[in-house]
Amino acid sequence: MTRVSAAQCDWGGSIWFSQATPKFAFMAWLAIRGRLATMDRVAVWSQGVDTTCVLCKRASETRNHLFFECSFSTQIWEPLMKGILRNSYSGKWEELVSLLATSPMEKKKQFWFRYTLQATAYMLWRERNRRRHGEQPMLATVLTKHIEKAIRNKLSLVQSKGIGGLEVSLQYWLGTKM
Ligand SMILES: [Zn+2]
């Protein structure tokens, strides 16, 4: 079995993990299963649609482009994730899914990797939908602040509940900030 196909079988637990936020987890689950209505898929049943990515306007929209090869997505993903993943940092979906499923990680690092991945994918997809519905584009810096706010909210919740191994995460997370 190749690393990628093993990863595809094993990602369930890495999506529906303890302390996950359900709407983020659901989005990530759809993305991993290739069920999001990205324009490459829409074009299959609806010919002639414009498949250009609304975030960068420079490439065709596919899942792997949105998460996180798109230049707009990279602006958000890289600063959030590089400090957490360090040498294993990637913006490539397949590599990230493989990391999710197979890579042994310290508990808090694993938690913040999974949580940040889901929150970022969710917020990017929401921004993509907003733009497709003609709403005013949000700047990458503003979107990053929204994601950080979601992460901070989760941190304070985890801390107030005193969940084993994650209490010291605030220092950890702040320590990953570059
Ligand atoms: Zn793009």
Q: How far is the CA of 104 from the centre of ligand 1 (A)?
A: 31
Q: How far is the CA of 68 from the centre of ligand 1 (A)?
A: 9
Q: How far is the CA of 45 from the centre of ligand 1 (A)?
A: 22
Percentage of the residues of the chain whose pLDDT score is greater than 90: 63
Q: How far is the CA of 108 from the centre of ligand 1 (A)?
A: 31
Sign of CA dihedral 83, 87, 93, 94: negative
One-letter identity of residue 2: T
One-letter identity of residue 42: V
Centroid of chain to Cα 1 = 26
Asked whether 25 and 14 are in contact (CB, 8 A), the reply is no
Percentage of the residues of the chain whose pLDDT score is greater than 70: 85
Confidence tier at 104 by pLDDT (50, 70, 90): confident
* Window from 2-11, 91-100, 142-151, 165-174 with minimum mean pLDDT: 2-11
Q: How far is the CA of 76 from the centre of ligand 1 (A)?
A: 12
Report d(CA 155, CA 167) in Å as an integer.
Answer: 8
Q: How far is the CA of 147 from the centre of ligand 1 (A)?
A: 19
